[in-house]
């Protein structure tokens, strides 16, 4: 046991004395979440919109003014027919089109109800969602302005349509996606590199020459990374919750347990990589190309799996992160329990056993 403790302590020394890597490890989740959070979601200023005003009365002019003077939007052009809508979206500059019904003011005064259509380009779902939210709240406050001193309630009914990606699949998805990418990175990549480093500088040779069992070496090497990855997951969850309001609707305990399962899976993957390489460089390359890219591209983190061509969808089944993201999504966004994703959990357990089995089989008790 003392052996084990000494080894874990030594591993922590390595980590904490390598300042650059440490900064990257802890800085990365923060930078990433800010990037995905702010740059993609909230940084909306002067978004280009187009207006199709079929009514052109005093109220539509006032509302348009209010929308355009909010600071969030900038007028790209006025449209004159429905046919032009498709075209402006295609050009890509315009992110949203506001369409007033015919006889807007008249209907509002007569029926106390009028319609505004808001069309958004949802290829970038985060932006679309935010734009819609802003527009709706402007319309809402306009409605209250009008209602002031008016006995009968007036309703301007915004009719919202998302174009190109109607279900807004990945709005809150970036947090679960980010968690899996970062856990993968720390667990698989850092472990494989750190074991490869021992081989490269020759310390593995000295360790093998000692009576220490290979399993002891591996387990004690892996523990610090488990702790590191786990604390990183918590940092991301906290940031997501505090800064962007990403909810955790389900059980927090379950979420953490599933995270540990995923980390252990990734660690066993890292060990497997390290058994087939002898240099840090190769380990890095295999982790990046073989793990990180598929995890980012095929797990549904950035591109929805359903929209992929069939062969890629099949490959995505082999990406552990895909299953983990499904689990996280269920817990965080839908608030469901283990009954709804025991299959995904079992798949992760399966991956873990498979990788561990392979690494134990491949691990050499000798140099050559």
Partner 1 sequence: MTNLAIKTENLTKRYGSLEALKGVDLEVPPGFLFGIIGPDGAGKTSLIRTLATLVLPDGGRASVLGHDVVAEYRSIRNKMGYMPGRFSLYQDLSVLENLQLFASIYDTTIEKNYHLIKDIYQQIEPFKHRRAGQLSGGMKQKLALSCALIHEPEILFLDEPTTGVDPVSRNEFWEMLEDLKKKGISILVSTPYMDEAKLCDMVALIQNGTILSVNTPAEIVDSYNTPLYAIKATNKYQLLKDLKSYSYAASVFPFGEYIHYTDQRGLNVVEELKKHLEANNHSGIEVVSIAPTVEDCFMALMDEQV
Q: Give residues in contact with partner 1 (CB under 8 A).
A: 2-3, 5-7, 10, 13-14, 17-18, 201-203, 205-212, 365-368
Residues 220 and 360: their CA atoms lie apart, in Å, by 15
* Cα angle: 29, vertex 171, 128; to 5 degrees: 120
Strand 113-121 with 73-79, pairing: unpaired
Nearer to partner 1, 6 or 288 (CB): 6
Nearer to partner 1, 156 or 217 (CB): 217
- Please, what is the minimum distance in Å from the beta carbon of residue 18 to partner 1? 7
H or E element, residue 99: strand 96-100
Nearer to partner 1, 203 or 231 (CB): 203
User: What is the biggest distance separating any 2 CA atoms in the chain, rounded to whole angstroms?
Assistant: 92
3-state DSSP call for residue 162? Answer: strand
- Please, what is the minimum distance in Å from the beta carbon of residue 195 to partner 1? 14
Nearer to partner 1, 202 or 350 (CB): 202
Nearer to partner 1, 6 or 349 (CB): 6
Question: Cα separations (Å) of 47 from 60, 93, 128, 129, 228?
Answer: 20, 9, 10, 13, 40
Residues 256 and 273: their CA atoms lie apart, in Å, by 26
Nearer to partner 1, 208 or 360 (CB): 208
Nearer to partner 1, 85 or 204 (CB): 204
- Please, what is the minimum distance in Å from the beta carbon of residue 5 to partner 1? 8
Residues 268 and 261: their CA atoms lie apart, in Å, by 11
SS (H, E, C) 45-68: CCEEEEEEECCCCHHHHHHHHHHH
102 CB-near residues (< 8 Å, 6+ apart) = 54, 55
- Please, what is the minimum distance in Å from the beta carbon of residue 185 to partner 1? 22
- Please, what is the minimum distance in Å from the beta carbon of residue 282 to partner 1? 19
Nearer to partner 1, 87 or 205 (CB): 205
- Please, what is the minimum distance in Å from the beta carbon of residue 367 to partner 1? 4
H or E element, residue 121: strand 113-121
Residue 263, Cβ neighbours under 10 Å: how many?
A: 26
Report the candidate in 180, 270, 255 with the shortest Cα–Cα distance to residue 223.
270
- Please, what is the minimum distance in Å from the beta carbon of residue 39 to partner 1? 36
- Please, what is the minimum distance in Å from the beta carbon of residue 137 to partner 1? 55
Cβ–Cβ under 8 Å, residues 118 and 138: no
What sign has the CA pseudo-torsion 173, 177, 179, 180?
A: positive
């Amino acid at each position: 046991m003392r052996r084990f403790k000494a080894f874990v302590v030594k591993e922590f020394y390595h980590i904490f004395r390598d300042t650059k890597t440490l900064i990257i490890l802890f800085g990365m989740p923060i930078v990433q979440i800010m990037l995905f959070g702010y740059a993609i979601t909230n940084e909306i200023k002067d978004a280009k919109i187009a207006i199709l005003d079929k009514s052109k009365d005093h109220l539509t002019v006032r509302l348009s003014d209010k929308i355009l003077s909010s600071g969030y939007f900038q007028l790209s052009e006025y449209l004159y027919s429905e046919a032009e809508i498709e075209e402006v979206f295609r050009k890509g500059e315009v992110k949203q089109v506001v369409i007033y019904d015919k006889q807007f003011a008249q209907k509002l005064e007569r029926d106390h109800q009028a319609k505004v259509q808001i069309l958004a380009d949802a290829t970038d779902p985060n932006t679309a969602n935010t734009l819609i939210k802003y527009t709706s709240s402007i319309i809402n406050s306009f409605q209250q302005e009008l209602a002031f001193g008016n006995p009968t309630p007036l309703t301007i009914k915004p009719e919202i349509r998302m174009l190109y990606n109607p279900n807004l699949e990945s709005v809150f998805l970036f947090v679960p996606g980010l968690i899996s990418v970062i856990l993968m990175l720390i667990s698989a990549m850092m472990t494989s590199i750190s074991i490869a480093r021992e081989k490269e500088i020759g310390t593995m040779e000295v360790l093998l020459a000692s009576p220490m069992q290979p399993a002891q070496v591996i387990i004690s090497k892996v523990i610090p990374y488990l702790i590191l990855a786990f604390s990183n997951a918590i940092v991301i969850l906290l940031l997501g919750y505090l800064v962007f309001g990403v909810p955790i609707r389900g059980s927090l305990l379950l979420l953490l347990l599933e995270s540990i399962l995923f980390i252990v899976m990734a660690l066993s993957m890292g060990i497997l990589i390290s058994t087939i390489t002898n240099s840090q460089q190769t380990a890095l390359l295999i982790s990046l190309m073989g793990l990180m890219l598929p995890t980012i591209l095929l797990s549904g983190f950035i591109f929805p799996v359903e929209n992929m061509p069939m062969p890629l969808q099949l490959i995505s089944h082999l990406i552990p992160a895909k299953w983990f993201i499904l689990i996280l999504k269920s817990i965080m966004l839908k608030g469901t329990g283990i009954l709804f994703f025991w299959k995904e959990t079992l798949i992760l357990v399966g991956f873990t056993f498979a990788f561990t089995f392979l690494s134990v089989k491949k691990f050499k008790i000798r140099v050559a």
